[in-house]
């Protein structure tokens, strides 16, 4: 459930009409709903705690939507943060999320990033390879500390909504095999700079079937039991994120309650703290991208293009993953729905949000909302074609605030300099 519903006939975010935001802030603009973020987090948390799981750490995956106001909203509810760069660790800290609720993941952390995370005192560094584990050991030993690490395992299970976001097969770059994990865990427990606290996995994103998750989590449980049988201490099992969301025409994803119940079953009787790294399931349906129709362009061959002021640089998912986003008129449009190709102004044919989409008749100046754009929307945006990053607005009840302003062209140009010889 989300809080983007018609009010007095026009689409609103909570109690604020989207038109009002478009007029005040301009388009394209991302709009997020506090109530939806809060609801998604609490529904997941209540489902997990209700399934009898011991004090789970729910570390929101910052990459899904790293806006400080979003992080603050979730942090206030007790969310931790799953981070994959120093920038994300800094964001989580700046949003008031305590270091002991921050997990630092990622395939290629630099020495400087590892040092920063150690100095900040993060809860856990998820190491993804033997060379990375050695590097963490060395940096921690130099500082006279023992880094709390989890070994990320690649459970060799296929899952995820698109090949580019499936991470759990052995051919993917993420994590180590089960046998390597056992060897590395034992080595880590004897290393001067390491304190292995757990094992971790994340098998993919936009997963709409619980079976591959149950398979991977069962294998992870087996690993914990083997490690413990060898006398090693395993305090935490990090099961990653990945739960899918309804993008309208996709298979219906499992509910948080079904997901939690499955985990409760798989982990029954295992005395361990579970950690989760949900991103999309919390943020996706808590945000929309608002855009304006620039032109309706009818080609003699019969194709009809809806040319918007938003483009692939603002919302990359359709171009990158062939993703479907529901596209809704902000004000109701009467008339028979017809097929449109919905495109942006960027100079690539890939800048197409939808082909042959049945939409009501539109005119230049109309506002449209791309639904489910709160995750991997603004966070994947770029300034391609020298287009300013779309601003972000957070709504709470009948109030809204610009939580990231649109940069001016002067600000964009001021970041660059002519080389001395030019
Ligand atoms: N954890 C890790 C390690 C990830 O790589 C990702 C996404 O790529 C996530 C968590 C979040 O996944 P999702 O947004 O599907 O929940």
Residue closest by Cα to atom 5 of ligand 1: 202
Q: How far apart are CA 58 and CA 415, in angstroms?
A: 37
Where does residue 116 rank: exposed (0-12), middle (13-18), buried (19+ CB within 10 A)?
middle
Q: Is 347 a catalytic residue?
A: yes
pLDDT above 70 for 362: yes
CA of 44 to the centre of ligand 1 (A): 15
pLDDT above 90 for 159: no
Q: What is the pTM of this model?
A: 0.96
What average pLDDT score do residues 377-397 get?
A: 98
The catalytic residue among 334, 347, 418, 419 is 347
Q: If you search the block for the tokens 């098998």, which residue do you land on?
A: 203
The strand pair at 399-404 and 392-396 is best described as antiparallel
Chain centre distance of CA 163: 17
Contact 62, 280 (CB under 8 A): no
Per-residue pLDDT tens digits for 301-316: 889 999 999 999 999 9
Ligand 1 centroid to 190 CA: how many Å?
30
For the stretch 57-92, pLDDT in tens is 999 999 999 999 999 999 999 999 999 999 999 999
* Ligand 1, pocket-test mutation among 79, 175, 198, 279, most atoms within 8 A of CB: 279
* First vs last C-alpha separation in the chain: 56
Give the containing element (helix H, strand E) for 287.
strand 287-298
> Quick one: pLDDT at residue 240?
96
89-138: per-residue pLDDT in tens?
999 999 999 999 999 999 889 999 999 999 999 999 999 999 999 999 99
- Lining residues, ligand 1, CB within 6 Å: 61, 64, 82, 105, 202, 205, 240-243, 277-281
- Tokens at residue 256, please? 């948080």
Distance CA 149, CA 236 (A): 10
- DSSP code, position 321: H
Q: Which of 150, 161, 277 to mutate to test the pocket of ligand 1 (most atoms within 8 A of CB)?
A: 277
pLDDT at res. 399: 98
What's residue 354's pLDDT?
Answer: 97
Reading the block at residue 109, the tokens are 């952390």
What is the C-alpha to C-alpha distance for residues 91 and 278, in angstroms, rounded to an integer? 17
For the segment 23-53, what is each residue's pLDDT rounded down to a tens digit? 999 999 999 999 999 999 999 999 999 877 8
């Amino acid at each position: 459930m989300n809080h983007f519903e018609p009010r007095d006939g026009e689409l609103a975010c909570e109690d604020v009409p989207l038109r009002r935001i478009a007029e005040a802030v301009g388009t394209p603009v991302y709009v997020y709903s506090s109530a939806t973020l809060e609801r998604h987090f609490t529904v997941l948390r209540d489902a997990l705690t209700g399934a009898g799981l011991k004090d789970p750490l729910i570390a929101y995956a910052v990459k899904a939507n790293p806006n400080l106001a979003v992080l603050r909203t979730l942090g206030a509810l007790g969310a931790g943060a799953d981070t994959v760069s120093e920038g994300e660790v800094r964001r989580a800290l700046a949003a008031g999320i305590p270091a002991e609720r921050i997990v630092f993941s990622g395939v290629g952390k630099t020495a400087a990033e590892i040092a920063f995370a150690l100095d900040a005192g993060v809860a856990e560094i998820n190491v993804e390879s033997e060379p990375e584990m050695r590097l963490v050991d060395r940096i921690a030993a130099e500082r006279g500390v023992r880094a709390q690490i989890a070994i990320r395992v690649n459970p060799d299970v296929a899952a995820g909504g698109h090949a580019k976001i499936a991470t759990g097969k052995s051919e993917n770059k993420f994590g180590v095999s089960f046998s390597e994990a056992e060897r590395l865990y034992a080595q880590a427990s004897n290393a001067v700079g390491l304190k292995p606290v757990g094992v971790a996995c994340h098998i993919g994103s936009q997963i709409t079937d619980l079976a591959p998750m149950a398979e991977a989590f069962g294998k992870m449980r087996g690993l914990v039991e083997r490690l413990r049988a060898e006398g090693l201490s395993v305090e935490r099992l990090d099961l990653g994120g990945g739960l899918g969301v309804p993008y309208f025409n996709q298979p219906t994803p499992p509910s948080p309650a079904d997901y939690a119940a499955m985990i409760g079953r798989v982990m029954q009787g295992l005395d361990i703290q579970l950690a989760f790294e949900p991103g999309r399931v919390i943020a996706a349906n808590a945000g929309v991208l608002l855009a304006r129709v620039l032109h309706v362009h009818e080609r003699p061959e019969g194709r009809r293009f809806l040319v918007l002021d938003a483009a692939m640089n603002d919302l990359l998912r359709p171009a990158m993953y062939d993703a479907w986003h529901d596209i809704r008129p902000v004000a109701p449009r009467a008339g028979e729905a017809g097929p449109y190709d919905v495109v942006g102004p960027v100079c690539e044919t890939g800048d197409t949000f939808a082909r042959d989409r049945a939409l009501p008749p539109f005119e230049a100046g109309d506002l449209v909302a791309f639904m489910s754009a709160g995750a991997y929307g603004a966070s994947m945006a770029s300034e391609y074609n020298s287009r300013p990053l779309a601003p972000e607005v957070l709504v709470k009840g009948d109030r809204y605030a610009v939580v990231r302003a649109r940069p001016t062209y002067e600000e964009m140009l001021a970041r660059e300099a002519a080389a001395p010889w030019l």
